[in-house]
Amino acid sequence: MSIGSLRNGLLACSVCMLLINPGSTPGKTKDDARSVPPAQVASPEKIVQFVRDRFEVPENVKLTAEPLDKSPFPIFYQTVITSENGTQKRTNNVFITKDGRCLVMGNVFALHDGSTADLIRCLREATKIPAQTELKVGAFDKTPYPEFLKAVVTANDGKKTQSGDVFITKDRQTGIVQGIILPFRDDVVRSMINTKDMPSQGPANAPVTVVEYADLQCPMCARLQEFLEKQLLPKYGDKVRVIFKEFPIPGHDWSPTAAVANECGYEINPSAFSAYRTLIFANQTAINASNVRERLLSLGEQAGVDAVKLATCIDSKASEPRVEAGRQEANDLSINRTPTSFVNGRVVVGLQTESAWDKVIGDALLAKSR
């Protein structure tokens, strides 16, 4: 499944609703009695804005969503999103949990008895995997979302082995494969983000908090850092606080070391963190895998970080747990590119224009004033 094609306005998630017994209705759960009416969970406009923000669907692509309604699955409401880019039109089913916590895109299917054999049978139907391909499902673990469990499913056709995630609801009535689970409500996003003892700029009591996940080797992250420091923060003063999170991405050869160094700088001298981070971004082209330690020590000293302490911290990777915590948090939030930011829980992917940032900040300030 290609989530990336959403950037072109083509919602590429195909949703296959498989009912083991099509003539029956899935049984009610305790959640049904407590569920919020669909119209109160989310409006079509909110769903469209979420999809546009999350997948960077450009404004010239028309997105519409039908009102939320019942679905064949006890935990979900369902909507249909239509995208039109002038030449193509596509519709897709999207599911939102009845408490509004999560939005789901992917192959969703009903389970009969929730056994492993039942799950494998449903997986074959949902993904069209032939009977001769061996399927194995690993142990289920908790996810960031209490209502879902996750396991790794492995397929082996005798020539190659592939693996992917499969999700099931805790009541084992519904499964999801080839899909993505995203935090939908802003308060759910905020609850997943640690803001304590984090490097930041701006007052802790600011009405708007921007949390940025960045890779120090990412050129677009460097441009965002410059925008935040020189334009956004001066413009909004004490109304905005920016919290910085390390999210070194695979394929970058020196950013993991830089992330450790940056967090070391924060632990050694918190007041020098911002200057150190800015210097690292400004010197991206001069840093490589061979000279990264030397360059980071030099830049740290320029920023006011004790060189001896910094060298010890980098060599021992003493701050790596902080980096890993940021990485895990980003993974829990299903972040797949940098920079990605959250403004009071609303996602902002990429650099974005000044006017786009003004709109998001303005919306957050307005919501706070109500």
Q: How high does pLDDT run on average in the chain?
A: 91
Same domain flag for 91 and 228: no
- pLDDT tens for each residue of 144-172: 999 999 999 999 999 999 999 999 999 99
Residue range(s) defining the domain that contains residue 27: 4-184
As a dihedral over the C-alpha atoms of residue 47, residue 50, residue 54, residue 55, rounded to 10 degrees, the angle is 50
Which pLDDT score, from 0 to 100, does residue 36 have?
85
Confidence of residue 17 (pLDDT cuts 50, 70, 90): very low
Same domain flag for 176 and 295: no
Same domain flag for 169 and 317: no
Q: What angle do CA 103, 104, 105 make, to 5 degrees?
A: 130
Same domain flag for 148 and 10: yes
Residue 87 has pLDDT above 60, yes or no: yes
Same domain flag for 159 and 103: yes
Residue 24 has pLDDT above 70, yes or no: no
Which pLDDT score, from 0 to 100, does residue 314 have?
98
Residue 12 has pLDDT above 80, yes or no: no
Looking up tokens 């006011």 gives 304
Same domain flag for 227 and 106: no
Residue 16 has pLDDT above 80, yes or no: no
How far is it, in rounded angstroms, from Cα 155 to Cα 126?
A: 14
Residue 100 has pLDDT above 50, yes or no: yes
Which pLDDT score, from 0 to 100, does residue 18 have?
35
Q: Kindly state the helix (H) or strand (E) to which residue 266 belongs, with its residue range.
A: helix 255-268
- pLDDT tens for each residue of 221-262: 999 999 999 999 999 999 999 999 999 999 999 999 999 999
β strands within 62-185, DSSP E: 62-65, 69-70, 76-84, 89-97, 102-110, 134-137, 141-142, 148-156, 161-169, 174-183
Which pLDDT score, from 0 to 100, does residue 34 have?
57
Among 150, 184, 218, which residue terminates a domain? 184
Same domain flag for 122 and 59: yes
Residue 2 has pLDDT above 70, yes or no: no
Residue 25 has pLDDT above 90, yes or no: no
Same domain flag for 170 and 204: no
Among 169, 184, 199, which residue terminates a domain? 184
- HSE at residue 370, side-chain half, CA atoms within 13 A, is 6
Same domain flag for 127 and 26: yes
Which pLDDT score, from 0 to 100, does residue 32 have?
44
How far is it, in rounded angstroms, from Cα 18 to Cα 21?
A: 9
Same domain flag for 146 and 286: no
Among 152, 184, 216, which residue terminates a domain? 184
Q: Residues 273, 266: contact at Cβ < 8 Å?
A: yes
Which pLDDT score, from 0 to 100, does residue 340 have?
98
Which pLDDT score, from 0 to 100, does residue 33 have?
39
Same domain flag for 173 and 233: no
Residue 204 has pLDDT above 80, yes or no: yes
- pLDDT tens for each residue of 270-309: 999 999 999 999 999 999 999 999 999 999 999 999 999 9
CATH of the domain at 300: 3.40.30.10
Could you give the number of structural domains in the chain?
2
Same domain flag for 167 and 200: no
Least confident of 25-39, 220-234, 255-269, 321-335: 25-39
